[in-house]
Amino acid sequence: MPITAPSGEHTRNRLRPLTMAIHLLALGSAMAALPAAAQTAGEEDMLLAPISVTGQGERSPVTEDTGSYTAEAARTATPLSLSLRETPQSVTVVTQQRMEDQDLQTILDVVNNTVGVSVNRYETSRAQFNARGFEINALMIDGVPTIWDQPWSSGEIFSSLAMYDRVEVVRGANGLMAGAGDPSASLNMARKRANSTYLTGSVEVSGGTWDTWGTLGDVSFAVNEAGTVRARLVGEYTDGDSWIDLHSNQRETLYGTMDIDLSENTTLWFGLSRQENNSDAPMWGGLPVWYADGSRTDWSRSKTTSAEWSKWDSRYETRFINLDHRFDNDWELNLSYTRGERNSESYLLYLSGNPDKTGATPMSSFPGMYKTRTVQDDYSVRLSGPVMLFDREHDLAFGYIHSKQQFDADTRQALTGYGGVADFDSYDGDFPAPTWSSLIPYGSGETIQKGYYGATRLNLTDDLKVVLGARVSEYEKTELDYLRNTRSEQKVSGEVTPYAGVIYDLNQQLSAYASYTNIFQPQSEKNASNQQLQPIIGESYELGLKGEFYNGALNTSAAIFQIKQENLGVNTGDRIDPQEPLLGFAYVESEAVSEGFELELSGELLPGWNVSAGYTQFDIEDGQGKDTNTLYPTRILRTFTTYRFSGEWDRLTIGGGVNWQDSIYTYAINPSDDLEKIEQDAYALVNLMARYDITDNLSAQINADNVTDEKYFDIFDAYGAMTYGAPRSVTATAKYRF
């Protein structure tokens, strides 16, 4: 989070909710007009995406083999299985087809290409995910929060998508499902299932810029003749350099799962996964913005602050088991257990300061070594089904979630390596490896979350539905700092997070909705005394229109929102301990209000024409009416489309898109000890693709990203530092399906 701008800083004109609502209603009607007209003109000839049916006619959220850019249902916002139109919040589903078309390989790629969310990648191995002006900290797998702590993150942004069917993005507060309700967004990665009763799968190889290459295999099959026992295996390996000198990354993913039909109504599914990420010569901190004389730097995008011996390796292993049972009255019971374990080991070099152009002023150096282990156990039970009341069928869901996370960190203190870098202009990573002490305890912590929730959808009339829910949470966190011999505790019990939404069907295609929820979010930010800040509290409101066309093949939405927060941590610009960079900056509690709107369209617009497009605009102010959280863009455009030709060219698919965002900035102390603005101007990244089906089973695809070779940077809010984004790159992929 940034330093607050001086009071004299010009502020933007604010687009207030009433004005936004008028514009949105007009735009929503316009968005609905095109699909409705197309439906009337060519409804009989419309080619719809395949529809998956599970159970007794329930909607399936699975996107694999649908060829679609949208999904039938999602469960990230509520425990009820609702279509996107029936969900009273902004929801985006990044489908399997979009992952393939855009060559989205990691969760970082998803966030960079999804409506309403953005990335501030301030290092090679760490980044901030953002939505509606606030950080995203809710990263989930099958609805269960993962092991992810920003200061200690070590590969989460590179989490491979190979084992996932889709990524569901719910924008706004999501305390009903995520527990501590983050007001920004929740990212839920849904695992692939072993759903095939015959041998099927795919193999692909890829290669591209910076000597990157990869291979991926995915196979499903029936274990027994009856097909009641099914298995799936996924394996992936990627290796390659990057645009940054010395830096390379290797990623390995293994995933295995089985589905066993114990009876016609009962399925046991379980599995395990292993994701390993090895990063050589990663940057720890960004590049300096100023020279010692106060002039601005202009580094090559290949410039590094790392050293040849630096590394940041991590391994994430999960084991899970689920039991799904459908009763004769259509009620469903789900029991699940997940255990995740992340291990990380890093040897890093932190360079800071403002170098002299002549080499007279050195960069200071701080070597650091850390070994961490995080273990998380999650238990959950969910009971859901229909009920009859006043001659109408309604939906109910109840559940309990228990999560326990144990964190331990050890360190080796550098006995040498503090001499700095005399001439950073010519620095190429040749920095002597330090002498390290023996391994000693650094810190540990334990976090326990318990949640009891209930939700219902009341079908008051044929056109009017109300979604009501609440969660009662218990939160307990204990942290130990062995080097400073300090202990901190946070404990909250009986915290109630309500959820309310109303949906009104204007016609067969269009609905209006409104939703409200409270915000409760314990935060990891600490004050100057290295004590955690009080939990964030607040309220989140959303009002909008949603459209569903062509039997769900195309979804549209328009929304306005307002988020009010108290106790939000704001960066003071001062480090807790200048001798220990990992402790980060000191924060103070403040207020923040975010107001804005979003537009989105996803799915098949016309036969063969898939589209994902959206625009987000908001303003965020602190308690004094000043812009805050300015490291995050407040205007974001995301577009991508593909078209498959017909006739003689029906084997060819072409596509492309534009990702645009407005300027971001912060204020930092320059070499003259003055507060100076660091700003990245608005920019657009253009991405293209083409795929040709050589045979019915074999295809060749090429993706080109940042084709205009736009030079841009993200901001590391530390001593005025920045990290450049990726230049132009090209990837070629061959894929064989069987």
Question: In the predicted model, is pLDDT for residue 431 greater than 60?
Answer: yes
- Nearest alpha-carbon partner for 118 in 718, 679, 664, 544: 664
Most confident of 27-36, 573-582, 712-721: 712-721
Percentage of the chain lying above the pLDDT 90 cut:
67
pLDDT tens digits for range 123-146: 888 888 999 998 887 788 888 777
β-bridge mates for residue 676, sequence order: 668
pLDDT-derived band at 179 (thresholds 50, 70, 90) equals low
**Phi, psi for 345 (deg, rounded to 5):** -140, 125
- Helix/strand number for the chain, H first, E second: 4, 37
Question: In the predicted model, is pLDDT for residue 383 greater than 70?
Answer: yes
pLDDT-derived band at 181 (thresholds 50, 70, 90) equals low
pLDDT-derived band at 40 (thresholds 50, 70, 90) equals very low
pLDDT-derived band at 522 (thresholds 50, 70, 90) equals confident
pLDDT-derived band at 718 (thresholds 50, 70, 90) equals low
Provide the pLDDT for residue 24: 38
Provide the pLDDT for residue 4: 32
Percentage of the chain lying above the pLDDT 70 cut:
89
β-bridge mates for residue 332, sequence order: 326, 384
Instruction: Report how far residue 202's alpha carbon sits from residue 216's, in angstroms, rounded to the nearest whole number.
Output: 8
DSSP state letter for 45: G
pLDDT tens digits for range 196-240: 999 999 999 999 999 999 999 999 999 999 999 999 999 999 999
Provide the pLDDT for residue 141: 87
Q: Which helix (H) or strand (E) holds 179?
A: none
Question: In the predicted model, is pLDDT for residue 396 greater than 80?
Answer: yes
pLDDT tens digits for range 51-81: 333 333 467 889 999 999 998 887 777 788 7
Provide the pLDDT for residue 492: 86
CB-count burial class (<10 Å; 0-12, 13-18, 19+) for 166 = buried
Instruction: Report how far residue 701's alpha carbon sits from residue 101's, in angstroms, rounded to the nearest whole number.
Output: 9
Instruction: Report how far residue 713's alpha carbon sits from residue 407's, in angstroms, rounded to the nearest whole number.
Output: 32
- Look at the alpha carbons of 146, 152, 155, 156 in this order and tell me if their dihedral is positive or negative: positive
pLDDT-derived band at 148 (thresholds 50, 70, 90) equals low
Provide the pLDDT for residue 21: 36
For 77-103, give the DSSP string.
Answer: SSSS-B-TTTSSSEEEEE-HHHHHHHT
- Residue owning tokens 């159970």: 55
Question: In the predicted model, is pLDDT for residue 37 greater than 70?
Answer: no
Claim: this prediction has a pTM higher than 0.85 = yes
Kindly give the pairing relationship between strand 138-141 and strand 185-191.
parallel
Instruction: Report how far residue 177's alpha carbon sits from residue 497's, in angstroms, rounded to the nearest whole number.
Output: 10
Instruction: Report how far residue 674's alpha carbon sits from residue 672's, in angstroms, rounded to the nearest whole number.
Output: 5
What is the three-state SS of 389-440? ECCEEEEEEEEEEEEEEEEEEEEECECCCCCCECCHHHCCCCCCCCCECCCE
Residue 8 backbone class (left: φ over 0; alpha: ψ -120 to 50; beta: rest): alpha
pLDDT tens digits for range 349-375: 999 999 998 878 899 999 999 999 999
Question: In the predicted model, is pLDDT for residue 692 greater than 60?
Answer: yes
pLDDT tens digits for range 278-293: 999 999 989 999 999 9
Provide the pLDDT for residue 679: 96
Question: In the predicted model, is pLDDT for residue 426 greater than 70?
Answer: yes
Provide the pLDDT for residue 571: 73
Question: In the predicted model, is pLDDT for residue 43 greater than 80?
Answer: no
Region 488-510: what's the mean pLDDT?
91
Which tokens is 623 given? Answer: 């308690």
Instruction: Report how far residue 127's alpha carbon sits from residue 666's, in angstroms, rounded to the nearest whole number.
Output: 16
pLDDT tens digits for range 303-338: 999 999 999 999 999 999 999 999 999 999 999 999
Say whether 682 sits in a helix, a strand or coil: coil
pLDDT tens digits for range 583-641: 777 888 888 899 999 999 999 999 999 999 999 999 999 888 889 889 999 999 999 99
Provide the pLDDT for residue 340: 92
Provide the pLDDT for residue 152: 66
Provide the pLDDT for residue 563: 92
Question: In the predicted model, is pLDDT for residue 14 greater than 50?
Answer: no
In contact, 547 and 553? CB cutoff 8 Å: no
The mean pLDDT of the chain is: 87
Lowest mean pLDDT among 143-152, 161-170, 298-307, 443-452: 143-152
Question: In the predicted model, is pLDDT for residue 35 greater than 80?
Answer: no
Question: In the predicted model, is pLDDT for residue 650 greater than 70?
Answer: yes
Lowest mean pLDDT among 37-46, 66-75, 717-726: 37-46
